[in-house]
Structure 1
């Protein structure tokens, strides 16, 4: 038996991932981040390790991880721990202090890759800065201009890069299934807010509407006002709003099927997920990636449904007040909330390679 000495000598890199079942969009930037790290450290160097459990939905994250949780990442023999996404949040200490303290004592370095703030509040900035000053990472790469602008002058000794969301690397690391030439469809992913109807005329004051051009024609993307207002009162009420939504939405638009992916597989709310036609949900990400890659366009309230569509060259439009949508401005798509936008894939390739080159230089 021969031993691959290059692989044996490669650094061990633990990429924090998971929470896919509660939001499969997390998997999109997890997979993209894995590709980036393999380009930087080598294909045999990178493995996934679970995210902290206090990040679960509808849990008070400031209460930290369960007291009986085996925070086993502290015991791993690794050279790097890599965190991604909106991990620059107000509960970062509650999530990570014990692990960071133990790993630092063993010489493990921490990387923030494609990272971002969660809510862009002064209280959040203060908590994150205090934590990072106490546990400085080896480097920080962000995914949006706002996050980079806030922390670029923090920690002068830590290299920082104004990067892109790792989900934009999906077109480099996933080969989606193709659909038959006679199959045409769009994707409408609304699992947080009510799905807007696509109407050919203004429905009036009982609806909240956005006027938008689709393929040279004017449409109104409209949601009943009472549903929209209730859903925006908070995450729990957003899910409860579906109980009051008695609409029967169409299965087609313009002769094309409307496919309705649900990003939250767990808890599996069957009555909600499969109430409208052509619905689908899965606990793995590759099904979704194939759906978005082949869609003629995507309308969604999920940031990473749009990211996946854009990464494969399709148009997308976003429907959410979430500040985490700042990651679209980084690639010049600030108008994604007002119209369908597309991403120049040549430009994207340049940004991908720039980020990888910078990371190789600074690890």
Structure 2
């Protein structure tokens, strides 16, 4: 069996952890399958190109409401982008991550249309949304009606409750990044340290050890607006003035940090998840509905103090996710 793994875009390091964690899940579920990874980076770049360096005048929800997944807009920049996903023959397509809202779905519409024409079934794996408002749910259900995915394995219970009745097979699962330790086993560090990864807020973290300040936005977003560029420049200028500022263009370097830290403090969910799965402690410092994905695997509140994973719990729920993916594939005709 040939499986297409549809990645989104790595301008945020956490997206890479989702992609590679998804690959590890697929490899466990289908050990004999050929996995073809393709990126949606071109789709995202094309969508942003029309904005150029000017500030965004409309939210992506406005674009989605009027663009209807770019269905009828052949002049859309996304329409002209070629994706590897459209150039290969596969038996199954898997789309992982925080994709259940217009920011991701609109950019992949052309690819999904081609998959539909080729009768390739689609499974949404470790899926969640940026929010679960009525507008977002309406948009996602429009996508479901048009693309007709055969399976949905969510990363949090909110997504499951929203869409459990809309797709033939659904499962209340976990985030793909909980599998990242099966993709990469980092070497040991020669010193003790803690990590502070903050991209959204400023937090005063106290540590008895060396404190490494990591940045999860190492890659410039293509065609971003000038205000976002200036904001990023200001943030990085401040970080460069600190000791132990960390920036890299490889997932493995970040995973080394999180596998060897004693504690990670972060406003990034996907700085906390790898820290936890490698057996270390993490504290999450940001209020967002996406944090609900921790509820499945933690008995303590990760926003109150540093916590750790119960290895027996995470081992069990990961195997259950693998089993669910196998069951979802049986919906293939």
Shorter-normalised TM range: 0.7 to 0.9
- Aligned to 1:101, which of 113, 120, 126? 113
Q: Distance in 2 between matches of 1:94 and 1:184?
A: 44
Describe how 1:111-130 pairs up with structure 2 within 5 A: 111-130=123-142
Q: Distance in 2 between matches of 1:271 and 1:19?
A: 25
2:179 aligned with 1:172: no
2:126–2:155 contact (8 Å) kept in structure 1: yes
2:13 aligned with 1:13: no
Deviation at 1:35?
A: 0.7
2:215 aligned with 1:262: yes
Q: Distance in 2 between matches of 1:122 and 1:164?
A: 23
Describe how 1:209-224 pairs up with structure 2 within 5 A: none
Q: Distance in 1 between matches of 2:266 and 2:194?
A: 11
- Which has more radius of gyration? 1
2:261–2:280 contact (8 Å) kept in structure 1: yes
2:318 aligned with 1:307: no
Q: Distance in 2 between matches of 1:294 and 1:71?
A: 37
Indicate how the Cα distance of structure 1 residues 103 and 54 shifts in structure 2: closer, same or farther if over 3 A, else same: closer
User: C-alpha offsets along residues 169-224 of structure 1, whole Å, 9 cap, x if unaligned?
Assistant: 122221111012xx1110000122213243xxxxxxxxxxxxxxxxxxxxxxxxxx
Deviation at 1:119?
A: 1.4
- Aligned to 2:173, which of 158, 163, 166? 163
* Higher strand fraction (1 or 2): 1
2:144 aligned with 1:136: no
Determine the structure 2 residue equivalent to 1:146: 158
Higher relative contact order (CA 8 A, sep 6+): 2
2:200 aligned with 1:192: yes
Q: Distance in 2 between matches of 1:272 and 1:115?
A: 34
Q: Distance in 1 between matches of 2:13 and 2:103?
A: 22
- Aligned to 1:83, which of 74, 95, 116? 95
Q: Distance in 1 between matches of 2:299 and 2:256?
A: 23
Deviation at 1:48?
A: 1.2
1:140–1:159 contact (8 Å) kept in structure 2: yes
Question: What's the secondary structure of 1:258's corresponding residue?
Answer: strand
- The count of corresponding residues between Structure 1 and Structure 2 is 293
Deviates more, 1:308-317 or 1:34-43: 34-43
Question: What's the secondary structure of 2:212's corresponding residue?
Answer: strand
Deviation at 1:130?
A: 1.8
Deviates more, 1:22-31 or 1:58-67: 58-67
User: C-alpha offsets along residues 52-96 of structure 1, whole Å, 9 cap, x if unaligned?
Assistant: 545468875437662432244223211222111111103455222
1:53–1:66 contact (8 Å) kept in structure 2: no
Deviation at 1:348?
A: 0.4
2:240 aligned with 1:274: yes
Q: Distance in 1 between matches of 2:12 and 2:154?
A: 21
Deviation at 1:334?
A: 6.2
1:328–1:334 contact (8 Å) kept in structure 2: no
Deviation at 1:117?
A: 1.4
The alignment yields a C-alpha RMSD, in angstroms, of 2.2
- Aligned to 1:26, which of 7, 10, 15? 15
Deviation >3 Å, runs of 4+: 52-65
Deviation at 1:288?
A: 0.6
